[in-house]
Structure formats: structure tokens, C-alpha cells
Amino acid sequence: MRILKDLFRDYRFFVSLSVLVIIVVMAILSNFSPYDPTLWNVVPRDTKPSAEHWLGTDSNGQDIFWQATFAVRNSLIISLIASLVSRAIAIMVGMIAGYKGGTTDRVLMFAGDSLLVIPIFLIMVMLAMMVREFMNLVVLGLMLSFFGWAWDARLIRSIILSLRERDFTKTALLSGTGTVKLVLKEYIPFATPLIFSTLINNIAWAIGLEMTLAILGLVNLNIPTLGTMLNWALFYQSILLGRWWWILTPVVLSLCLFVALYWMSVSISEYLDPRTRIQRVGAQ
């Protein structure tokens, strides 16, 4: 309760949490949709927002509001798969490389640096074209996770390298503390702010890259996501035809997601940072 009370003092956390709650509620509402998101022409086409269709309908004959609930849900699923798997890889690689050092460090960092220097977007486009027939939420999420861990692993490694040289590490080792216990008890608290911020940032990165691939038509367009909603809106030239309710729905939802995730990342990182915490205690 004390943690939440302190966090809610930051308007960025309060606003971002409120926006994310609304978006999550939208995702949950998809389970109560009266329409199948994969079927076309279930409602009149190209109607304006009304009491019956809150955000109007599109040229595929689908209700835009209910499509948006499925799109938000699927985009969140993809981003969560990508971010959680990539965080697990980044934490494991970063901590092992930083703590072990030597040959282990060089091999792991060579693998990570290789992913940093190659043109990831072009590789993603080629992979998406190769597996397009088998593309689903899990496949896309895992594909994104494979390219999302390298930079964060290097950041975690830098923290572990610094902590390994501190006096408390030598004291813990001399007292017989095991490696696993040392990492979990002493190192994780220092790395937690970075892990949280990179997790949230990676969610935003995954959503943005999924939208880019969808706009290019490299994903399964029958699966509603924020990206595929934009793809269909652009395909039917909704901007030129003045169907603003169609194009603005995924755009506004995406912008709200990106801003909310960024503000939450900054707010939580500042709260969990030990240096910031010491300043708060001193100010009190």
C-alpha cells in the first residue's frame, strides 16, 4: 500500500495507469463481442458512429468498436509474449556474462552484438515473408522476442560488472554466500529498475514493430490487431474518403498506449532507483 501511495503521487503514473486500465478493459470486452472478428459483412458497411455502432463500421462490414477490442487484446498478447521472453533471455545472458566474465562474457556479448549490428527490420521482413502462412500471435511474439533482448542484455551486464567489483560482493563470497543467492538477494534489487523500464519499453517496441509489419501486409490480416486495422483503413483509403472514425480509432489507441507505457516506465524507474529513493527519504 505504501508503494502505491508513493507512486500515485506522480501524475505520470496515475495518468498512465488510468489509460492502461481503460485499454485492458477494452481487451476484456472482446470476450463479450456479439460479432466474430474474422467475418465480414455482419453489419452495414461504412456507417458513421451511432448509438448502435459507437465508432461506426468499416468497408469490410465490421463494427469498428468491437474490432478495436480484439485488436487491442491481440496487440497486447503479442507484445507481452515478445517482452517477457526477451526479458528472460536478456536477464540470463546479461547476468551470466557480467558475473562470469572472460570467455563466457565474450561469447555471449558477441552473440548479442551481432543482433545489434545487423539490419533487424530487413531480417524481420524476410522472416515474416517466409513464415507468413503460419503467422499467428504466438509465432509473431516469439519472432519479435528473438530480436528484442540484445541491447537490454548489454545494459544488465554493465550493472553486474559494476556490482561484481564492489566490496559487498567480495564480503558475500568470503562468507560463503552461493552464486544464486548472491544474484537474487544482492544484484536483482539493483537491476530491477532497469528490468522494469526495459520490459515496458519493449512492450511499446513490439507493438510498434507489429504495426509496421502489418501495414506492409506481412502478417495475417485476418487476425485483428492495431496494425491490421490500420492496414485495412489505408487499403480502403479511409482518409481520402473522410471516414475519420475508422482511421483514428487505431491511431488514437496506439498513441495512448505508447504515451502511457513511456510515462509508466519513467515513473516506475525513478521510484525503484535506489539513488532517487535516498533523495526522497532525505527530503522527508
A 10 A CB-CB count for 17 gives 17
Q: Does the pLDDT of residue 131 top 90, yes or no?
A: no
Query: At a CB cut-off of 8 Å and minimum separation 6, what does 112 contact?
Result: 93, 149, 150, 151, 153, 154
A 10 A CB-CB count for 66 gives 25
Average pLDDT, the chain: 87
Q: What would the pLDDT profile of 11-62 be if each residue is shown by its tens digit?
A: 888 999 999 999 999 999 999 999 999 899 999 999 999 999 999 999 999 9
Q: What would the pLDDT profile of 133-146 be if each residue is shown by its tens digit?
A: 788 999 999 999 99
State the pLDDT confidence band at 282, using cuts at 50, 70 and 90.
very low
Q: What would the pLDDT profile of 65-105 be if each residue is shown by its tens digit?
A: 999 999 999 999 999 999 999 999 999 899 888 888 889 88
Q: What would the pLDDT profile of 193-251 be if each residue is shown by its tens digit?
A: 788 888 898 999 999 999 999 999 889 899 999 999 999 999 999 989 889 999 999 99
pLDDT score, position 4: 64
Q: Does the pLDDT of residue 163 top 80, yes or no?
A: yes
Which residue type sits at 85? Answer: V
pLDDT score, position 203: 93
* CATH top class, domain 2-271: mainly alpha
State the pLDDT confidence band at 277, using cuts at 50, 70 and 90.
low
- Whole-angstrom Cα distance, residue 102 to residue 119? 28
- At which residue does the C-alpha cell 480509432 appear? 249
State percent of the chain over pLDDT 70: 91
